[in-house]
């Protein structure tokens, strides 16, 4: 024992400050098992001398994760023992115990309890769950405590998610491309599935299970019918088999016209019995291969996708027909509310509500409507979607975008935890104060049992999975906040930084500070004061507020900012498009008045003169420019803060972040300059004192083109 400890201290000493034998390429995500400092290693070792219990596939994973984690952190090999000894970790699934040592009622199928206690006279740690998967989540939670340097000798915690479905949505195409993916090709190697199941799939499942993510939609919402052929069902089944012991179910996006494309049906009318019979048979076929298949995700009658409205039926008609097909198997249908139509002249921000609100109460009980966080499309900032709180009889699930289509794509450091928190904590006022979006989606506001939250994944085959080290934090934050919507973005950032870099407060504090200010910086240099959707056409990379000639009005940035000589902003008040009228009356009243509208959403709801006075006393024009300046300055400050971390961060990851921050700074400047050049060409106003003129004339920015920008479907 002593000798082992000595070797360990020697090994750790050599590792600290010395180059590591393996590359810090980000592959290990937040599950890095690297030597803890001596004191931390000592307490981990003292509280994990052996592991008792569990032989099921899931409990075996729990044990192996603990063994692997402890070995990495302390150098010790932890044995699996049959009897309880001092400092043991006991894995206890109520499903396999007559008399659980720790009560598991109220934990649900996924929750866990961890408690240090005395068993047969010996101090031990019990990790308990009502199910094996609950225990697995508990094992990951214990490892999180260990990796972040928390005390392990006095634990008494219980944690259960309030939201039932915590899902990733992959916008992955069958040809390996990823729509809005900036981390390389799809991780699903469809071509070589179902035979070849590379190690990445298991590591993917580990990463998700460590956060409590319990489902994954494998394919793009812009779905191809082929994913429902026998060959592709077999491929999906191979993935489902791998993910099952991790508590992760698979789901598929479906194309509405699949019965026509695959089997020559004449129609896809949801009320046509032949169509319903086709889907029923298809569901039966899927469940034969994947008995715990989760269900379907559907994008219908949106952006050119077919749907029930093509047959003059409603979204509810369509959803309910599919729901009936999966119902006997316990499946569900997630029906997306992201709809807007080319022939609807109404404000695009109003269209989802207009389509779906009248259907409240008409959906089958295994349908959940999936609503994006805002009414337009994953902008750097959007007010919460007015459907939240407006459909009391219908379960609504949240759709966040983890991939940063509009927030700097792969290179910008824009931590999304703050965006998630802002949305979840928004108060809909639907049933008085405190009717937060979080309470809508966790079902507590209206007493719904079916509850969910989805994040559009930022995962690809890049070694670091997410296109950058810091993008991993967005996947992490999504999973952690899906599990517990009360977690703050800051607490999550702290956990992530401690596990990803080092629990040393001198590392954690500055990294968290960078992360916490980063999304506001992007809002400032891209779309301050409630502006939205002024990015480049198609690829959505970079600024293009001048675009005005695309076929559909609502595709054009000018539609959104409405800047002219007099002022800027979209009038969505009672006297404008009346999108404010879609919010609860008490909130609508506030939003109808620019003085009681949060300034961060000002131009989303109001068209205001350039001389309008902001809270700071400056004019709207000057304030707008100052926001742009501030955004660029914040990125420069992030660069300086990161540079100071050089001694504490491994060279490889330090260099990536340093380079990406330089790109971000350059692009922030570009956003600022191009937007100011354009808005100035419209307003004709001078820049406030101290603000530099754009580096180039407007035409220079307009002439830029990006033919091979990633993530853009051709
Ligand atoms: C937009 C994306 C587009 C998606 C669409 C959707 O630009 O690629 O297909 O949303 O969510 O954000 O369906």
> 543-582: per-residue pLDDT in tens?
999 999 998 899 999 999 999 999 999 999 999 999 999 9
User: Quick check: 45 and 15 in contact, CB under 8 A?
Assistant: no
User: Quick check: 356 and 367 in contact, CB under 8 A?
Assistant: no
Count CA atoms within 13 Å of residue 619 on its CB side.
Answer: 14
Burial class of 54 by CB neighbour count within 10 A (0 to 12, 13 to 18, 19+): buried
Ligand 1 atom at minimal distance to the Cα of residue 180: 8
Of 298, 292, 296, which is closest to residue 336 (Cα–Cα)? 298
Q: Ligand 1 centre from 148 Cα, in Å? A: 37
- The residue ranking higher by pLDDT, 425 or 342, is 425
Give CA–CA dist 112/50, Å, rounded: 20
Question: What are the structural domains of the chain?
Answer: 2-15+30-159 (3.30.379.10), 165-500 (3.20.20.80), 524-570+607-702 (3.90.1330.10)
DSSP 510: H
Q: Is the CB of 221 under 6 A from ligand 1?
A: yes
- Backbone φ, ψ for residue 436 (5° rounding): -70, 160
Ligand 1 atom at minimal distance to the Cα of residue 377: 12
Report pLDDT digits (tens) over 168-199: 999 999 999 999 999 999 999 999 999 999 99
User: Per-residue pLDDT averaged across 646-652, rounded?
Assistant: 96
Ligand 1 atom at minimal distance to the Cα of residue 222: 9
Nearest CA to ligand 1 atom 10: 377
User: Per-residue pLDDT averaged across 648-660, rounded?
Assistant: 97
Give CA–CA dist 160/137, Å, rounded: 10
pLDDT at 399 over 50: yes
Give CA–CA dist 448/368, Å, rounded: 10
User: Quick check: 372 and 385 in contact, CB under 8 A?
Assistant: yes
How far is the first Cα of the chain from the last one, in angstroms, to the nearest whole number?
Answer: 61
Count CA atoms within 13 Å of residue 114 on its CB side.
Answer: 23
Cα 491 to Cα 481, 486, 516: the distances in Å are 10, 10, 10
- Kindly give, in sequence order, each residue whose CB lies less than 8 Å from that of residue 629, ignoring residues fewer than 6 positions away: 672, 691
Q: Ligand 1 centre from 665 Cα, in Å? A: 27
User: Per-residue pLDDT averaged across 158-164, rounded?
Assistant: 98
Predicted confidence band of residue 18 (pLDDT cuts 50, 70, 90): very low
User: Per-residue pLDDT averaged across 339-351, rounded?
Assistant: 91
Predicted confidence band of residue 95 (pLDDT cuts 50, 70, 90): confident
What was the pLDDT predicted at 3?
43
Give CA–CA dist 94/260, Å, rounded: 47
Ligand 1 atom at minimal distance to the Cα of residue 302: 13
Q: Is the CB of 421 under 6 A from ligand 1?
A: no
Q: Tell me which H or E stretch contains 367.
A: strand 367-372
Cα 267 to Cα 275, 485, 569, 583: the distances in Å are 7, 42, 44, 37
Give CA–CA dist 384/386, Å, rounded: 6
Q: Is the CB of 180 under 6 A from ligand 1?
A: yes
Provide the mean pLDDT of the chain. 95
pLDDT at 66 over 90: yes
What was the pLDDT predicted at 20?
52
Give CA–CA dist 98/119, Å, rounded: 16
Report pLDDT digits (tens) over 609-619: 999 999 999 99
User: Quick check: 453 and 397 in contact, CB under 8 A?
Assistant: yes
Q: Ligand 1 centre from 409 Cα, in Å? A: 14
Ligand 1 atom at minimal distance to the Cα of residue 378: 12
What stretches of 131-177 adopt beta strand conformation (E)? 156-159, 165-169
Of 12, 26, 150, 23, which is closest to residue 660 (Cα–Cα)? 26
Q: Ligand 1 centre from 374 Cα, in Å? A: 13
Q: Is the CB of 376 under 6 A from ligand 1?
A: no
Give CA–CA dist 501/147, Å, rounded: 10
Report pLDDT digits (tens) over 212-230: 999 999 999 999 999 999 9
pLDDT at 19 over 50: no
Give CA–CA dist 157/461, Å, rounded: 36
- Pocket probe for ligand 1: among 171, 172, 178, 180, the residue whose CB has the most ligand atoms within 8 Å is 180
What was the pLDDT predicted at 6?
42
Predicted confidence band of residue 11 (pLDDT cuts 50, 70, 90): very low
- Pocket probe for ligand 1: among 405, 533, 554, 709, the residue whose CB has the most ligand atoms within 8 Å is 405
Q: Helices 489-500 and 417-425 meet at what angle, rounded to 10?
A: 160
Nearest CA to ligand 1 atom 9: 222
- Pocket probe for ligand 1: among 221, 401, 710, the residue whose CB has the most ligand atoms within 8 Å is 221
User: Quick check: 524 and 381 in contact, CB under 8 A?
Assistant: no
For β-strands 396-401 and 452-456, DSSP reports them as parallel
User: Per-residue pLDDT averaged across 68-96, rounded?
Assistant: 94
User: Quick check: 465 and 403 in contact, CB under 8 A?
Assistant: no
Does the pTM surpass 0.95? The reply is yes
Q: Ligand 1 centre from 305 Cα, in Å? A: 11
Q: Ligand 1 centre from 338 Cα, in Å? A: 9
For the chain, what is the radius of gyration of the CA atoms?
26
Helical spans, DSSP H, in 484-549 = 489-500, 505-526
Ligand 1 atom at minimal distance to the Cα of residue 712: 8
Q: Ligand 1 centre from 405 Cα, in Å? A: 9
Report pLDDT digits (tens) over 450-466: 999 999 999 999 999 99
Count CA atoms within 13 Å of residue 384 on its CB side.
Answer: 27
User: Quick check: 39 and 153 in contact, CB under 8 A?
Assistant: no
- Pocket probe for ligand 1: among 179, 255, 400, the residue whose CB has the most ligand atoms within 8 Å is 179
pLDDT at 395 over 80: yes
Assess whether the previous peptide bond of 414 is cis (omega < 30° from 0): no
- Pocket probe for ligand 1: among 173, 177, 303, 334, the residue whose CB has the most ligand atoms within 8 Å is 303
Predicted confidence band of residue 714 (pLDDT cuts 50, 70, 90): low
3-state SS assignment for residue 646: helix
Predicted confidence band of residue 22 (pLDDT cuts 50, 70, 90): low
What was the pLDDT predicted at 12?
44
User: Quick check: 450 and 332 in contact, CB under 8 A?
Assistant: yes
Q: Is the CB of 222 under 6 A from ligand 1?
A: yes
Buried b (16+ CB within 10 A) or exposed e, 177-215: bbbbbbbbbbbbbbeebbeeeeeebebbbbbbbbbbbbb
Q: Ligand 1 centre from 16 Cα, in Å? A: 45
Cα 249 to Cα 133, 195, 462, 688: the distances in Å are 12, 20, 24, 55
What was the pLDDT predicted at 429?
98
Helical spans, DSSP H, in 212-347 = 230-243, 258-263, 273-289, 315-326
Q: Helices 2-15 and 38-46 meet at what angle, rounded to 10?
A: 140
Q: Is the CB of 179 under 6 A from ligand 1?
A: yes
User: Quick check: 306 and 268 in contact, CB under 8 A?
Assistant: yes
Ligand 1 atom at minimal distance to the Cα of residue 540: 7
pLDDT at 5 over 60: no
Give CA–CA dist 245/226, Å, rounded: 27
Report pLDDT digits (tens) over 489-502: 999 999 999 999 99
Tell me the residue length of the chain: 714
Q: Ligand 1 centre from 158 Cα, in Å? A: 38
Point out the residues that are catalytic. 303, 377, 405
Q: Helices 57-74 and 132-147 meet at what angle, rounded to 10?
A: 10
Q: Is the dihedral of CA 195, 201, 203, 209 positive or negative?
A: negative
High-pLDDT (> 90) share of the chain, %: 94
């Amino acid at each position: 024992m002593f000798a082992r400890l000595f070797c360990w201290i020697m090994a750790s000493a050599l590792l600290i400050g010395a180059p590591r034998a393996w590359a810090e390429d980000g592959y290990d995500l937040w599950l890095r098992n690297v030597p803890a400092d001596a004191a931390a290693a000592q307490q981990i070792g003292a509280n994990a001398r052996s592991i008792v219990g569990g032989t099921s596939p899931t409990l075996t994973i729990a044990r192996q994760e603990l063994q692997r984690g402890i070995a990495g952190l302390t150098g010790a090999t932890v044995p699996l023992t049959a009897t309880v000894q001092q400092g043991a970790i006991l894995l206890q699934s109520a499903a396999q115990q007559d008399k659980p040592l720790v009560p598991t009622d109220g934990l649900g199928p996924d929750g866990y309890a961890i408690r240090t206690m005395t068993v047969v006279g010996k101090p031990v740690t019990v990790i308990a769950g009502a199910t094996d998967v609950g225990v697995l989540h508990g094992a990951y939670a214990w490892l999180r405590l260990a990796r972040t340097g928390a005390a392990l000798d006095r634990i008494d915690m219980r944690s259960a998610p309030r939201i039932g479905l915590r899902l990733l949505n992959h916008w992955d195409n069958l040809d390996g491309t990823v729509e809005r993916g900036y981390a390389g090709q799809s991780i699903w190697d469809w071509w070589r599935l179902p035979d070849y199941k590379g190690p990445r799939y298991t590591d993917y499942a580990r990463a998700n299970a460590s956060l409590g993510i319990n489902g994954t939609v494998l394919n793009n919402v812009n779905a191809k019918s082929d994913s429902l052929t026998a060959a592709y069902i077999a491929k999906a089944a191979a993935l489902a088999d791998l993910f099952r012991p991790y508590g992760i179910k698979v789901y598929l996006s479906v194309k509405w016209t699949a019965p026509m494309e695959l089997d020559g049906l004449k129609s896809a009318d949801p009320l046509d019995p032949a169509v319903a019979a086709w889907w029923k048979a298809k569901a039966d076929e899927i469940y034969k291969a994947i008995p715990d298949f989760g269900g379907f995700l559907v994008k219908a009658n949106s952006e050119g996708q077919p749907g029930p409205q093509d047959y003059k039926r409603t979204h509810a008609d369509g959803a309910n027909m599919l729901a009936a097909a999966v119902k006997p198997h316990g499946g569900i249908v997630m029906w997306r509310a992201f709809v807007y139509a080319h022939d609807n002249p109404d404000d695009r921000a109003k269209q989802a509500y207009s389509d779906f609100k009248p259907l409240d109460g008409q959906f089958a009980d295994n349908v959940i409507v999936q609503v994006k966080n805002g009414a337009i499309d994953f902008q750097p900032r959007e007010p919460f979607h007015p459907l939240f709180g407006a459909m009391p009889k219908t379960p609504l699930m949240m759709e966040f975008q983890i991939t940063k289509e509009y927030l700097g794509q792969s290179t910008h450091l824009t931590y999304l935890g703050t965006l998630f928190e802002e949305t979840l904590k928004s108060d809909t006022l639907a049933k008085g104060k405190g009717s937060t979006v979080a309470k809508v989606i966790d079902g507590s506001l209206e007493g719904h049992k079916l509850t969910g939250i989805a994040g559009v994944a930022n995962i690809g085959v890049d070694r670091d999975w997410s296109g950058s080290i810091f993008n991993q934090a967005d996947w992490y934050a999504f999973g952690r906040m899906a599990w517990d919507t009360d977690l703050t973005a800051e607490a999550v950032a702290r956990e992530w930084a401690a596990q990803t870099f080092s629990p040393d407060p001198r590392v954690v504090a500055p990294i968290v500070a960078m992360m916490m200010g980063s999304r506001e910086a992007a809002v400032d240099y891209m779309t301050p004061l409630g502006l939205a959707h002024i990015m480049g056409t198609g690829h959505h990379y970079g600024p293009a507020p001048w675009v005005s000639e695309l076929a559909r009005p609502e595709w054009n940035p000018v539609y959104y900012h409405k800047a002219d000589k007099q002022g800027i902003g979209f009038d969505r008040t009672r006297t404008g498009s009346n999108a404010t009228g879609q919010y609860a009356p008490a909130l609508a009243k506030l939003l109808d008045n620019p003085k009681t509208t949060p300034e961060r959403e000002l131009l989303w709801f109001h068209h205001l003169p350039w001389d309008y006075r902001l809270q700071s006393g400056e004019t709207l024009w000057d304030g707008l420019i100052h926001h742009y300046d501030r955004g660029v300055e914040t990125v420069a400050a992030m660069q300086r803060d990161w540079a100071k971390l050089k001694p504490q961060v491994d060279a490889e990851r330090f260099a990536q972040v340093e380079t990406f921050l330089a790109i971000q700074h350059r692009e922030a400047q570009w956003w600022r300059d191009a937007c100011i050049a354009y808005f100035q060409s419209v307003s004709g106003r001078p820049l406030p004192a101290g603000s530099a003129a754009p580096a180039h004339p407007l035409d220079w920015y307009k002439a830029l083109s990006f033919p091979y920008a990633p993530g853009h479907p051709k």
